Structure 1
Amino acid sequence: MCFFKRMDPLVQRAANSFQNRFSKTALLVLVSIASAITALIQSAGGTLPAVGLIISPFSTLPVVLITIISPLLGIYTFFLTGLLLFLVQPSELLIFLFTTGLLGVGLGHGFTFFQRRILIASIGSLSLFPGICIMLLGFQFPLFGPEFQSTSSFYFWLSLFLFSCGYSLVWVEITFLILKKYVSRRLRSKP
């Protein structure tokens, strides 16, 4: 099964390509740009009624990519995006901090430290699931809409955990495809 296969050193090559290509100042500018893009994508959920709900989950992608480049820069992106969302769209702040952003940081660290897809997806789901639990139980935030109130069922929590595992696995595959495309393009452009 492809989930247990080892990844090629693709992630390390992509990260090294960015780190060697840009200065520290340029990387900080990249963090600022990624944070602005992430805040715009995340705020689409509160601004555009139907289309925004489809667009806003993609705010995970810039956080994952910056975290792969440098785990510290990924954390900077996470907090800077949170600050921007606090200023621009405060209603999306908690959603970003505890779901999409936390998943991005978790997956980025998973890509940095592990080689197997299943381990990377596990790190992502272990960062997403507690974030969803904090939103539902700690803040009483209606993630699934105001009509949905039942959180006491074992099957609800099991299905929520399985959803976070599957969602994380989907993001692992999306990120892997983007990195593979980036590295193959960089190799073709070298003389």
Structure 2
Amino acid sequence: MNSLKVATDFLRSSHELVNTPYCKTTKLVTGSLLGALAAILQSAGLFAGIGYAFSVLTTGPIVLATILSIRIGLLTYAATSLLLIFIQPTEVFVFMFTTGFLGLGLGIGFKVCKKRMLVAAAGGFCLSLGIILLLYTFNFPILGPSVSSEFSMGAMLGVLGFSMLYSSIWMALSMAVMQKLNKVIFTKGTT
């Protein structure tokens, strides 16, 4: 019971990411590098096993780029999608509607929302929307052959629950990485 209270307090409290102004060139170059990294990580899904573990990490660069600037996040998302067309065309839909869309949702949530619970909900909503679009609109078997592409309320609720949990995990991970990056960047600049 106590761990549930700690978890809900964590989600309700405000996130404290430092918004440091960077010049446009720095933002553009950082977004480009993060986009290239995201494309490499997403295309690693080609290699079964360990490749899937790297593919999951694709959300991170998109979140970081979007936290830097929503415009840079959108450009990074578009650049990653275009890079994937050339590198690994089979991963484009998966990126655009799942990992990339989650990254955009979380990044925009960090920029707009002040509560962690709202940030996690924004990311979870984007991921749910992307999976449901792939599953029911494009008939893309994103959840494997065991889940039918026919409309099912049970499947939708399962996707929503999973998306909220997955988004919460990514939100916490993104905050930890941003706090470490801020600490490294600002302590190196002062010494």
Aligned to 1:38: 38
Aligned to 1:107: 106
Could you give the per-residue CA deviations for residues 44-68 of structure 1, whole angstroms, max 9, x where no partner exists?
11x2012111211110000000100
Give the aligned residue type for 1:145: G
Following superposition, the deviation at residue 152 of structure 1 comes to 3.9
- Contact conserved, 1:67 with 1:75, CA < 8 A, in 2? yes
Please state if 1:143 is matched with 2:151: no
1:3 to 8, 11, 21: 11
Could you give the per-residue CA deviations for residues 96-151 of structure 1, whole angstroms, max 9, x where no partner exists?
00010011011000001112110000111111111101100111111122343265
Give the aligned residue type for 2:96: L
- Dislocated runs of 4+, deviation >6 Å: none
For 1:119 and 1:134, locate their aligned partners in 2 and report how far apart those are by CA, in whole Å. Answer: 22
Could you give the per-residue CA deviations for residues 132-191 of structure 1, whole angstroms, max 9, x where no partner exists?
011001111111223432654322211110000001000000001111112233343324
Query: Partner of 2:147: helix, strand, or coil?
Result: coil
Q: What pairs up with 1:70-85 in 2 under 5 angstroms?
A: 70-85=69-84
For 1:113 and 1:94, locate their aligned partners in 2 and report how far apart those are by CA, in whole Å. Answer: 26
Query: Partner of 2:11: helix, strand, or coil?
Result: coil
- Contact conserved, 1:151 with 1:157, CA < 8 A, in 2? no
Give the aligned residue type for 2:11: F
Structure-2 change in CA distance of 1:102 and 1:149 (3 Å): same
Q: What pairs up with 1:146-157 in 2 under 5 angstroms?
A: 146-149=145-148, 151-157=150-156
Q: Aligned pairs, how many?
A: 182
For 2:184 and 2:35, locate their aligned partners in 1 and report how far apart those are by CA, in whole Å. Answer: 25
For 1:185 and 1:29, locate their aligned partners in 2 and report how far apart those are by CA, in whole Å. Answer: 19
For 2:92 and 2:159, locate their aligned partners in 1 and report how far apart those are by CA, in whole Å. Answer: 21
For 2:147 and 2:118, locate their aligned partners in 1 and report how far apart those are by CA, in whole Å. Answer: 32
Query: Partner of 1:3: helix, strand, or coil?
Result: helix
For 2:85 and 2:106, locate their aligned partners in 1 and report how far apart those are by CA, in whole Å. Answer: 23
For 1:28 and 1:150, locate their aligned partners in 2 and report how far apart those are by CA, in whole Å. Answer: 39
Give the aligned residue type for 2:26: A
For 2:119 and 2:24, locate their aligned partners in 1 and report how far apart those are by CA, in whole Å. Answer: 27
Following superposition, the deviation at residue 75 of structure 1 comes to 0.2
- Contact conserved, 2:139 with 2:149, CA < 8 A, in 1? no
For 1:84 and 1:93, locate their aligned partners in 2 and report how far apart those are by CA, in whole Å. Answer: 9
Please state if 1:179 is matched with 2:178: yes
Moved more, 84-93 or 176-185: 176-185
Structure-2 change in CA distance of 1:150 and 1:74 (3 Å): closer
Normalised to the residue count of structure 2, the TM-score between the two structures is 0.89
Aligned to 1:98: 97
Moved more, 60-69 or 50-59: 50-59
